[in-house]
Amino acid sequence: MRPPRSPAPAAALLALAVALALASAAAARHTYATVPPPAERADEEVRRMYAAWKSEHGRPRGNCDLAGGEEEDRLRLEVFRDNLRYIDAHNAEADAGLHSFRLGLTPFADLTVEEYRGRVLGFRGRRSAARRAGSTRYLRRRRDQLPDDVDWRQLGAVTEVKNQEQCGGCWAFSAVAAMEGINSIVTGNLISLSEQEVIDCDSQDGGCNGGIMQNAFQFVINNGGIDTEADYPFTGTDGTCDANRVNEKVVTIDNFVDVATNNETALQEAVASQPVSVAIDAAGRAFQHYHSGIFNGMCGTRLDHGVTAVGYGSENGRDFWIVKNSWSDGWGEGGYIRMARNVPSPRGKCGIAMDASYPVKYSSNSNPAARAAMAVLEMVVA
């Protein structure tokens, strides 16, 4: 969801200071007893890193440009310092073999974990009764007949990593990425589509205040198509539905399908065939600062973020999902995260197997007869 409007400066700074103190205490408990914490960085080094980070991520260079002036900038520096301390402690553990992933200075390095959650997480979740029965559309193959690895980026079905900024529209980005993928697979044309149209025009969801991917699919079906990113660009805020652009139906889909829940094999079968929208629990501090490697960090199954599974594979005996995020290419592995796959819980890592879905496109827009024939075939297979 989007963050609330800024409170009075004094109250905001006090709240930030309290949150920082709590985060510092949590960081102190984070390091394993067998791994001593790394040496504290010198103040001059931290300040240099903070200045470089602000320059890289477009933060104001002058204190006068910050909402709270010099005092807020000092507090932001302390939040940055505390996050850096947490990152260094985690990476020391990773160097000792306790983690399969590393942390780094992401675009959220000057935010407390509470602020991070308020800015970029916007998946609302569904009641179980709202789910369709899990489809058997891709269950014609046994697991041992599936490819060992799939990467739809290499197969030309994934557009560039996008940036939802401070809009809680992750659900729209997830759904659009899945629609871009199936359209490319069916037509051979990779077209970047408009998240802003979905955010503005899907009346079943809350725009930058959150939504679900299935509603986005249904909006495009009901609308008869969706416009391109170039012609209906992202603004980072809720807008009024553009009556002219919403009638530009550049890409269509015919249906959408829910993957069988709590079943990583079913999810693998779907991802082997196309990019799939998935919901995950991304509220953890390790997720906030993820930089590289196979994420096996602490997370729950309280689904709060929509992303897109665009492949899977294995590295050194560790299975992983390739997940496209919408936080710019400055987060993670160029905007992607590899998440542990085939974990003990049937819900998957961070709940990735709990609420997955994908759009269906039977053929190119120019051949409605073929689409109808494929629709009949799908009913027979399912």
DSSP output for 244-275: TGGG---B---EEEEBPTT-HHHHHHHHTTS-
- Per-residue confidence (pLDDT) for residue 137, from 0 to 100: 63
pLDDT-flagged residues of the chain (< 50): 1-8, 14, 18, 21, 25, 27-29, 31-33, 61-65, 128-129, 366-374, 376-382
User: What pLDDT is attached to residue 274?
Assistant: 97
Helix (H, G, I), strand (E, B) or coil at 91: helix
pLDDT computed for residue 367 by the predictor: 42
15 domain residue, yes or no: no
Short-list 94, 99, 158, 104, CA closest to 325: 158
pTM score, whole prediction: 0.85
pLDDT of residue 217: 98
Q: What contacts 248, CB < 8 A, 6 or more positions away?
A: 225, 227, 228, 231, 232
SS percent in the chain: helix, strand, coil, step 5: 40, 15, 45
How many helical (H) and strand (E) elements, i.e. helices and strands, does the chain have?
Answer: 10, 9
In a domain, 351, yes or no: yes
Identify whether 291 is a catalytic site residue: no
In a domain, 282, yes or no: yes
| CATH number of the domain that residue 157 is part of | 3.90.70.10
Does any domain span residue 68? no
pLDDT at site 33: 47
Decide if 170 is catalytic. Answer: yes
Select from 76, 62, 60 the least CA-distant residue to 13.
76
Inside any domain, residue 330: yes
**Catalytic hit among 167, 296, 325, 350:** 325
Whether 305 is a known active-site residue: answer yes
- Amino acid 72: pLDDT: 86
Domain count, the chain: 1
Q: Which domain holds residue 170?
A: 150-360
Catalytic hit among 83, 90, 167, 170: 170
pLDDT in tens, 126-185: 654 455 555 556 655 555 689 999 999 999 999 999 999 999 999 999 999 999 999 999
- Residue 32 has a pLDDT of 46
> From the CB of residue 170, how many other CB atoms can be counted at a distance below 10 Å?
29
Helix (H, G, I), strand (E, B) or coil at 382: coil
Q: Residue 319 forms beta bridges with which residues?
A: 314
Sign, CA torsion 54/58/62/64: negative
Please, are residues 24 and 82 in contact by the beta-carbon 8 Å criterion?
Answer: yes
The reply to whether 101 falls in a domain is: no
Domain contains 172: yes
Q: What does the block give as tokens for 155? A: 């197969």
With respect to residue 284, please indicate whether it lies within any of the assigned structural domains.
Answer: yes
> Residue 306's closest CA among 221, 222, 238, 216?
216
